[in-house]
Structure 1
């Protein structure tokens, strides 16, 4: 029997509610600044690049590449944690799932998937493309 890793539910704050509501619908949202045009993640009320408060939620493509990763082999249930650079530009921390840990590589294309959390919204994770 293969153990499945349990994912802790995120804390949903007012600033991130739209993000988690969209995740519950199977969509990944990122913020984009109306002034400088840059996308950013983690969601916040002001653009971290230019300081503008004119930021909007935009749906991300769900495509990205692995920027960096670590394989946690000594965990009760081994897992892969990674920084994934989205096609839209921002880099987010996530998990790589449904992958051979020995085959994962920096620069590898990945696609979005959602995994259930314990008692909360599903979490965005990535799988090799």
Structure 2
């Protein structure tokens, strides 16, 4: 079956991030001048505007910073994911990213709960970074 949901746009600056996800690895940029971790991928550091950024492998582990439970589809394409667990996850490096949580009962969600990456291979070319709890059926 073909994947029929919208796929994220992959900007040129983000290509290493997306390629790493296909290999079930999380890469973040880190500024070579001030050591600030950078996400979303870009061409300069938002802290000092330096353009010397290096991709570094990280665990992808973090905590649930905030969430909402969408009990109605956010778009028709996502009707099969209801209830959809939309989240902001803060990685150990301090960056925050929006994602979805899988393999967790909505009633068990707690701000601050530890999360691990779940690599969702939706097509041959695109892997989405979602999150789950350690030792879930999806981790």
Structures share fold, TM-score greater than 0.5: yes
CA distance in 2 between partners of 1:85 and 1:13 (Å): 22
Structure 1: 5+ residue stretches without partners: 1-5
- Does 2:59 align with 1:61? yes
What does residue 107 of structure 1 align with?
A: 112
**Contact conserved, 2:63 with 2:90, CA < 8 A, in 1?**
yes
What's the TM-score, normalizing by structure 2?
A: 0.83
SS in structure 2 at match of 1:85: strand
Q: 1:80 aligns with which of 85, 95, 104?
A: 85
Q: 2:17 aligns with which of 14, 19, 29?
A: 19
- Does 2:12 align with 1:35? no
**Contact conserved, 1:10 with 1:120, CA < 8 A, in 2?**
no
Output the aligned Cα RMSD: 1.7
Q: Which has the higher contact order (CA 8 A, sep 6+)?
A: 1
CA distance in 2 between partners of 1:81 and 1:7 (Å): 16
Please identify which structure carries the higher helix content.
Answer: 2
Structure 2: 5+ residue stretches without partners: 74-78, 135-139
CA distance in 2 between partners of 1:13 and 1:96 (Å): 24
What's the TM-score, normalizing by structure 1?
A: 0.90
- Number of residue pairs aligned between Structure 1 and Structure 2: 125
Which segment is superposed worse, 118-127 or 39-48?
A: 118-127
